[in-house]
Amino acid sequence: MSKKDLSKNQSRRKRRRKKRHRRVLLIIEIVVILLAIAFASIMFMPNSKAFMVRTFTGCPAGRMILKTLYKNNYDANVYENDAKNIRTVNLGNGYTNIALMGIDPRDGEFDDSTHSDTIMIVSINNKTHDVKLVSVYRDSFLKMKGEKSKKAIYEKANYAYFIGGVSSTINMLNENFDLDITEYAIVNFEGLADIIDALGGVDISITDAERDLINGYLVETREITGMDAPDVKKTGKVHLSGLQATAYCRIRYTEFTDSDGNVYHNDYGRTARQRYILNTVLEKAKTAGVSQLLDVADTIIKKNNSNGRKIIATNIKWNRMVDLLTVAVDCNLNSTFGFPYDTYTPEKGKTYFGYVIPQGLKQNVVRLHKDLFPDKTYTPSSVIDDINDYIINETGVEEPDDKKDADNTDKKSKSYEDD
């Protein structure tokens, strides 16, 4: 071997040694960081678990571990980009709005051809991490259009998913409410149950009537998901498994009273229960440690699409999802409510029986923007005016007298932009 070849081999060996040395140092660094986080949080932090999660997801070493463990499975099984041709209103910076959809597939379908029984808007203040959760009543009479359709129709809000999946649902929310949603997450019954189980279940208060209805819904929910859970025996403060909590979220045949004493009936009660469960889940996640949240990640990412069954899908990319996890353990869910605020439900036998008619969509949307974005000035777009007028002319349902002329401006904000 020539001196030149010998020198090249020696150089290659040196480079390999340096590379191995860097790997060893990185591993040591990761271990030291994790030990330091654990020690500091246990010794000095009153909310140590949340601090550990924030630090773990915020530091390069922790993010590298998460990426190594989950990113490939996340990209293959969870991430999808089915939201096409989304139109948004320009609301400026400061807030992140995400559509959360719950579906009830009877044959395992995870796209259109099913209805979105749950439609929520998650609004995050990017600076303060305050979070607001809005349930859009699934029977709300709103404007929508199928993904391939050229003609708009007015139907129940949950019909948008049936005629065009994610894209139609997001466009319906943006068009009817002047919003800028582009990101979404979809979960089915099995996914919700699995996530709650990974967090160890939830503790909530139920009445005798709710217990009986939970047990009734469990029969069908077991069949749909292939999961099992015993009937609920007690009332008052009870611990529910994921499947039991999912059955609870379906209840709409008995009233629900929230912590402020507000009483909800029918589908209004069902959506209030869903917000109650999600709030409880979020609070549980905020107090969970790294290990328990990794169990949730295993459920969402590694078990998703196993045996051809999906439980969750989203178009939120990996790095963005890790950022949102950091927000989740640091957030303050300070407001949950149903929308529209003022509604009219025709009685049986009347036109549009079973629909939730907004009493003045425009004034409802103005109030929505005030609640979600209190530091922003909002003027309804001309699109909102047109939808508002159509609903009034078609149904005869007008806004309440005390809300009329609440917005007497003639200004029109910019309409829709292709995104």
> What is the predicted pLDDT for the residue at 21?
62
Pairing of strands 95-103, 183-188: parallel
C-alpha closest to that of 74 among 322, 241, 255, 375: 322
- Rounded distance between C-alpha atoms, residue 112 and residue 291, angstroms: 35
Tokens encoding 416? 């829709």
How far apart, in Å, are the Cα atoms of 277 and each of 102, 119, 133?
A: 13, 15, 12
Q: What is the pLDDT of residue 330?
A: 76
Give me the residue label for tokens 């609070």: 283
- For the segment 254-311, what is each residue's pLDDT rounded down to a tens digit? 999 988 899 999 999 999 999 999 999 988 887 777 777 788 888 888 888 776 778 8
Q: What's this model's pTM, rounded to 2 decimal places?
A: 0.83
Q: What is the pLDDT of residue 85?
A: 87
Q: What pLDDT is attached to residue 114?
A: 74
pLDDT score of 404: 67
Write out residues in the chain with pLDDT < 50, as ranges.
39, 41-46, 406-419
H or E element in which residue 358 lies: strand 357-358
Q: Which DSSP string do the residues of 21-88 spell out, in sequence order? A: HHHHHHHHHHHHHHHHHHHHHHHH-TTHHHHHHHHHHHSHHHHHHHIIIIIHHIIIIIB-----S-EE
Phi-psi region of 160 (alpha: psi -120 to 50; beta: other; left: phi over 0): alpha
